[in-house]
Amino acid sequence: MTTTTPDPLLAAEGITVRFGGLTALSDVGLSVAPGTVVGLIGPNGAGKTTLFNVVSGVVRPQSGTVAWKGRVLRAHRPHRLAGLRIARTLQGLNLFPGLTALENVMVGADRLARGGTFAMLTGLGHYHGDERRLRGRAMAALAEFGVADAARALPATLPFGVQKRVALARAVVADPELLLLDEPASGLSGEDITALGEAVRGFGARMGVLLVEHHMDLVMSVCDHIVVLNFGRVIAAGTPAEIQADAAVAQAYLGAAEEDFDA
């Protein structure tokens, strides 16, 4: 039998996570196919970050599996993601304060450096060829995000929106096959969000993307498929149009808003 649906890059199945007596995720699944942007949304406390952390290897589920290209990941750890060609950005910027924007992006290209970025940045080992090649690549990544002129600056001296772009450049500089984005729009507004949306759509043409995000306009405009969590369960999954028309989703957000209102 032939199928038009590509095999997923990432497939999480039956994920259950408990923190003491609290069930943060209950039998949750999602998958990301190449060239698609999958959104993960839900009210506060729904379990989005927990699922992001399971996929990243930060949290180990009590049950369920995470598979990468059809192979279940058993010793799944965050520092192994780059080797699998999975990149992620976190809610915080996580830029190295003592390195310039360019050097930060070069760290993201570590997978491509034969001697490792450490050798390259410290000058130890055989690094000259790597250094030139990766510097060029990192500059190109900064230019792609319109922040090439920030290359020599330390992160703390740059506006927040520029730091965010540097963090995105670092995430994609090594050409990942899957990009995990945890609330990339947080702290951004106006044209920075518009530019972020364009960037995420651009990533979607080159790689699979999993986007955890509160900013609904962004999610609805960039995602091919959306999974909605509430109280640790998947309550809906579908296209942006299907999710916008889903009564259970509207109820979940309305309920959350009423709780916020009562608080």
Which residues here bind ligand ATP, judged by CB under 6 A? 19, 22, 24, 42, 44-50
Q: Tell the smallest beta-carbon distance from residue 41 to ligand ATP (Å).
A: 9
In the structure encoding, which two tokens stand for residue 260, read together? Answer: 């916020």
CA distances from 116 to 91, 97, 112, 139, 157 (A): 26, 20, 8, 18, 27
Q: Tell the smallest beta-carbon distance from residue 242 to ligand ATP (Å).
A: 21
3-class SS at 227?
strand
Q: Tell the smallest beta-carbon distance from residue 9 to ligand ATP (Å).
A: 22
By C-beta, is 78 or 202 nearer to ligand ATP? Answer: 78
In the structure encoding, which two tokens stand for residue 184, read together? Answer: 């990339």
By C-beta, is 49 or 100 nearer to ligand ATP? Answer: 49
Hey, how many other C-beta atoms are within 10 angstroms of the C-beta on 159? Answer: 11
Q: Which residues pair with 238 in a beta bridge?
A: 226
Q: Tell the smallest beta-carbon distance from residue 40 to ligand ATP (Å).
A: 9
Q: Tell the smallest beta-carbon distance from residue 96 to ligand ATP (Å).
A: 25
Residue 222 to residue 224: CA distance in whole angstroms: 7
By C-beta, is 31 or 50 nearer to ligand ATP? Answer: 50
- Calculate the CA 234 to chain-centre distance: 19
Task: Pick the closest to residue 35 from 59, 14, 60, 6 (CA basis).
Answer: 6
By C-beta, is 12 or 172 nearer to ligand ATP? Answer: 12
By C-beta, is 47 or 61 nearer to ligand ATP? Answer: 47
